[in-house]
Amino acid sequence: MNILILGIGQSLRGDDAAGLEAVQLWQAQHPDSAAQVQVELSELPGLALLDLLEGMDAAILVDAVQSSASAGTVICLGPDELASFTPDAGSAHGWSVAETLQLGRLLVPSLANCRVTLIGIAGGQFGMGAGLSPKVRAALEKVADMVEREIQNYLK
Amino acid sequence: MKTIEVAALARVEGEGGLYIGVKDGQVVEIRLDIYEPPRFFEGFLVGRYLQEVPDITARICGICPVAYQMSSVTALEKALDVEVSPQVYALRRLMYCGEYIESHALHIYLLQAPDLLGQPSALDLAAIVPDVVKNALRMKKIGNDVLKAIGGRSVHPVNACVGGFYRWPDVAPLKALLPELEWGLEAAKETVRWSLTLPYPDLEIDYEFVAIHHPEEYGVMHGDAWSSKGSKTSVADYEMRYFEEHVQRSNALHGHTSYGGTYLVGPLARLNLNHAQLLPAAQKALKDAKLKLPLKNPFKSLIARAVELVHFYEEAIQLIKAYQLDGPSHLALKLKAGEGCGMSEAPRGLLYHRYKIDEQGMVKFAKIVPPTAQNLPRIEADLFALAPKLVKMEQDVATLTAEHLVRAYDPCISCATHFLKLKIKEVVHVKA
């Protein structure tokens, strides 16, 4: 089974780096699991997300999200919930994950066979500079555990 | 007085807004406001070792990192009085082909075509013509794959350095790209034919076109800056004829010529000045299109990009077929104090760099003149030219038409200094 674990975020925009750091933490804690899957870190995957998903049976995307929930809140969206996302008409130079997945559903029939899960971490501050806010950093362990649980569900 | 405000422009790179003031049926003020924060690259390059420059400046833009790498390495090589081998030069051109392919395919199909076909976004376009968008993504991916084969990754590639490349890319992954490039060449020819069927708004502007010209190749990295007004300016004299000035309302500088005029850089300028240097398949595509040159309609820059797509697929195929590992991939540099300037044609226009370095190769001064900064005054002037039509339109149509024009330029506001969410606000001031 081909599984992709993708950490997404900009390392120099505060809590936006949460996805990157959570995947790195999981990788360090679970090297045996990491060896069985494809691990990628991407600052801004944009349309290249479709290429990364090519040939995958499952993908777990870990990304910071802007949410009304308090910083550090972790949400998990399964394929059905992601499919109902209606992205804003936005920038094509900076395609969002939701937009790209929607484009993929329109254009790449094989993507229908790939189970995409998004683990989102609500950020508190997305300003310039590296470093997570304390509440977001405190959530990384929980996210790493969730990534591992999802993988084990697939690898059973 | 009525105002049209687009608080944040969409489908462009970077953050900017548009303001059009209308009074008594006349457009009285047009401003392209750039509020993307200043990036300070020129400042933090100072004190860095010269070999850091190509990889730092590449981070100015995710769409045209190769342009920043190439303009910086040519400037720094000039400062050191070194000239790279023909093999290095050819590989640099191949890398540039990859960038043109990915950038042009993105702009033609995903950024500008939705406007011309009356669709709010590429997603909506994909819903009605999925095969067109699917082919566009395939075309774009080929460009990114070229970048990855040479520079290790498809965005912000590394490997280019002052004096050449850190290592020669392996032959096999490059040759493996040939079938897709051959497919892309045919798709690009079809793109030209398709581009001629699109409904372009009427607008003819008497531009001063400026582009790098070289008699023996399509101007990208070598040659002088030619102007359609007749001037031929060497890279060393570039700052004698082309200036930048600070505009208080904008975080981007505005470019103008030494006599205060506006000028246009980018695909229209290149095609109009350099069509004789296009490779045969692109020449044929242009001839079959039966276009009258110079093209003066900014919306038709899409056609110029389509012809350039043919050229750069064709050139990429030639360069890969000829590619062989030969000699050292980079020169051993002898450091010395010096100053040098370099220019290259980013997909959206001429990009100029100048550096001063000390005897340890540390940067003492850096100047970067991006294409969008040079085009900003011209975009505002074009909006004024469009104004008589804009004032007769419903406000929402006028706003959209003005946005289309700005997007046709493929402006990179991040380079000059991103359209996220569109807000239209009408303010009517009533006299007491």
Task: Write out the two tokens for A15.
Answer: 């809590």
**Burial of residue A142, with CB atoms counted within 10 A of its CB: 0-12 exposed, 13-18 middle, 19 or more buried:** middle
A128 neighbourhood in chain B, CB within 8 Å: 37
Amino acid at A57: D
Give the pLDDT confidence score for residue B49 in this predicted structure: 98
C-beta separation of A15 from A129 below 8 A: no
CA distance B56 to B69: 9
Give the per-residue pLDDT at B181: 98
| Rounded Cα–Cα distance for residues A11 and B47 (Å) | 23
Q: Is B237 left (phi over 0), alpha (psi -120 to 50) or beta?
A: alpha
Per-chain mean pLDDT for chain B: 88
Task: Tell me how close the Cα of A89 comes to any Cα of chain B, in angstroms.
Answer: 6
Q: Who wins on pLDDT, B77 or B256? A: B77
% of chain B surpassing 70 pLDDT = 90
Contact between B319 and B90 (Cβ < 8 Å) = yes
Q: Given a cut of 70, is residue B418 above it in pLDDT?
A: no
Give the pLDDT of residue B38.
62
pLDDT for residue B414 is more than 60: no
Alpha helices in chain A (DSSP H): 18-29, 31-34, 48-53, 79-83, 97-107, 134-155
Tell which of B123, B131, B372 to mutate to test the A interface (max A CBs under 10 Å): B123
**Model pTM score:** 0.87
CA dihedral (A46, A52, A54, A55) in degrees, to 10, reads: -160
Q: What is the pLDDT of residues A7-65, one digit of tens each?
A: 999 888 899 999 999 999 999 999 999 999 999 998 877 888 888 898 899 999 999 98
Are A106 and B137 a contacting pair at CB < 8 A? Answer: no
pLDDT tens profile B293-313 = 999 999 999 999 999 999 999
The whole-number pLDDT of residue B269 equals 98
- Nearest-CA distance from B106 to chain A in Å? 8
Q: Which of A70-84, B201-215, B334-348, B370-384 has the lowest mean pLDDT?
A: A70-84
Residue B214: is it exposed, middle or buried by C-beta count within 10 angstroms (0-12/13-18/19+)?
Answer: middle
pLDDT, residue B92, reads 97
Chain A nearest C-alpha distance from B136 (Å)? 11
Instruction: Name chain A contacts of B13, Cβ cutoff 8 Å.
Output: 91, 93-94
Asked whether the predicted pLDDT for residue A102 surpasses 60, the reply is yes
In the predicted model, what is the mean pLDDT of residues B205-218? 97
Query: Looking at chain B, which residue has its C-alpha nearest residue A92?
Result: B11
Across the interface, do B421 and A90 touch by the CB < 8 Å criterion? yes
Per-residue pLDDT, B417: 43
Closest CA–CA distance from residue B284 to any residue of chain A (Å)? 31
Q: Residues B183-198: what's their mean pLDDT? A: 97
**Helix axis angle, A134-155 relative to A18-29, nearest 10°?**
50
What is the rounded average pLDDT of the residues B348-358? 96
Q: Is the pLDDT of residue B387 over 90?
A: no
**pLDDT tier, A4 (very low <50, low <70, confident <90, very high otherwise):** very high
Q: Say how far apart CA B21 and CA B330 lie, in whole Å.
A: 54
Mean pLDDT, rounded, for B394-398: 80
Choose the mutation target among B115, B137, B348 for the interface with A, i.e. most A CBs under 10 Å. Answer: B137
Predicted pLDDT of residue A79 = 77
Confidence grade of residue B332 (pLDDT, cut at 50, 70, 90): very high
Q: For the segment B118-167, what is each residue's pLDDT rounded down to a tens digit?
A: 888 888 899 899 999 999 999 999 999 999 999 987 778 889 999 999 99
β-strands B242-246, B16-23 pairing? unpaired
- Give the pLDDT of residue B364: 97
